[in-house]
Amino acid sequence: MEIAIMGAGMSGLSCAITLEKNGMKPIIFEKRNRVGDRFVNGEATFSILNRPIKDELRYLKDSHHIYLKPTDRVEKLIFHSKNEKGNIEGALGYLNIRGRHDNSYECQLAKQVNSKINFNSTYEYEQLCKEFEYVILAPGDGDYAVKLGNYRCDLTCSIKGVTVEGEFCTNIPHVWFNYDIIPMGYAWLLPFSEKEANLVIAYPEFPNNIKLDINDIWNEFYSMACKDLKQDFKITDGFQIARYMMGICCKPKIENTYFVGNCFGAMSPGLGFGQFTSILTGIYSAYDLCNLGKYEELVKPLFRNYNNSLALRRFLENLNNHNLDFIIKNLDNKLLDKFIDKIINSTSKIDLLEIFTPMMKSWNSFKRNS
């Protein structure tokens, strides 16, 4: 069986690892000159977004024999709103490095692959279709799915981020919601060492937002972040993306082509995380090729999770700073604090996103019709 994997990111490499463990040897095509050849940044997985699975890395190791080592475990998540600050504590997820760093998840996965990776590849999808029996589309974005009429784009975003040097607790990320500064969006700080962290803003490109200057938004947020964390950060690297698509494929498989990773729609529209889903799509496509399951059936929970996350995104867009202050203030409410920490902890089986989706949809409908 001749299998081509287009893209040596997390989904493509996870697919290759799984195929190899089942006796198949794909050929991988990567347009860059190395694995993870892009901006180095910190990312995270949060168990609350991936229920019913409670511990993503343990699940990948025990169930799929894929091994990833994070930079640290998230033990506290601090939220900032316009006037309030609150936190959640417990085993919440993992922090990790992405990109061209030797310890990035991409590089860790590449070390588990034996198949040849053809770097600096000029192959296009059409050519791979002619030369291979099956094609795994894992280019890192949804462009090919769009070209094939197999993508539903739900929103586009503007994103700007930097690497900063400072003093950080490697198990404590920060999140900001302040719509006066970042309209309908959010920001985060994800440490990937005691001296370095990724600081990023992201917001949806609605008509009023498109009129804004992202650099003005960034400068105001950056000053606020430095003040909140009582540090004068030094910027060492940066990136900026306009019109980043968030959406999902209509069909996970068309004839001999599998859509995986961001070509499937792994990125969560709610809060922008999608590493775990990306890896799962790679694994599940390999299972289909190895006759260990049907890809269309295996990814059904991922479609459901995406749609729940989209409801969360719309819910957040329908809040204001007063609502956000109220929610974040109550994270540390003496009556609720321990209860919130317990149900969000990775030891909990409660799928809050699933439970609250009907309520969020009702709120969204009310705001839309009011």
Residue 19's pLDDT is: 98
The H helix count followed by the E strand count for the chain is 13, 14
The domains of the chain are located at: 3-369
Residue 36's pLDDT is: 86
Residue found by looking up tokens 């990111």 in the block: 9
Distance (Å, rounded) from C-alpha 231 to C-alpha 146? 43
Residue 367's pLDDT is: 84
Helices 352-369 and 300-317, interaxial angle, to 10°?
50
Residue 342's pLDDT is: 74
Strands (E), the chain: 3-6, 27-29, 41-46, 72-80, 85-98, 117-118, 134-137, 151-165, 174-176, 186-191, 196-204, 234-249, 253-254, 257-259
Q: Return the biggest CA–CA distance within the chain.
A: 63
Helices 300-317 and 275-289, interaxial angle, to 10°?
160
Query: Which DSSP letter does residue 363 get?
Result: H
For residues 7 and 261, is the Cβ–Cβ distance under 8 A? yes
- Topology of 3-369 in CATH? FAD/NAD(P)-binding domain (3.50.50)
Token digits for 76? Answer: 């506290």
pLDDT digits (tens, 9 = 90+) for 85-105: 999 999 899 999 999 899 999
pLDDT digits (tens, 9 = 90+) for 278-316: 999 999 999 999 999 999 999 999 999 999 999 999 999
Distance (Å, rounded) from C-alpha 62 to C-alpha 20? 17
- Phi (first) and psi of residue 340, to 5 degrees: -60, -45
Radius of gyration for the chain, computed over Cα atoms and rounded to the nearest angstrom: 20
* pTM for the predicted model, two decimal places: 0.94
Distance (Å, rounded) from C-alpha 363 to C-alpha 214? 29
Distance (Å, rounded) from C-alpha 109 to C-alpha 9? 9
Residue 271's pLDDT is: 87
Q: How crowded is residue 242: how many other Cβ atoms within 10 Å of its Cβ?
A: 12
Residue 355's pLDDT is: 87
Nearest CA to 273 out of 30, 49, 37 is that of: 49
Q: Which CA distances in Å does 245 have to 17, 159, 203, 282, 340?
A: 28, 11, 12, 20, 32
Q: Collect the ranges in the chain with pLDDT lower than 50.
A: none
The DSSP string of 29-58 is E-SSSSTT-S--EEEEEEGGGSTT-S-HHH
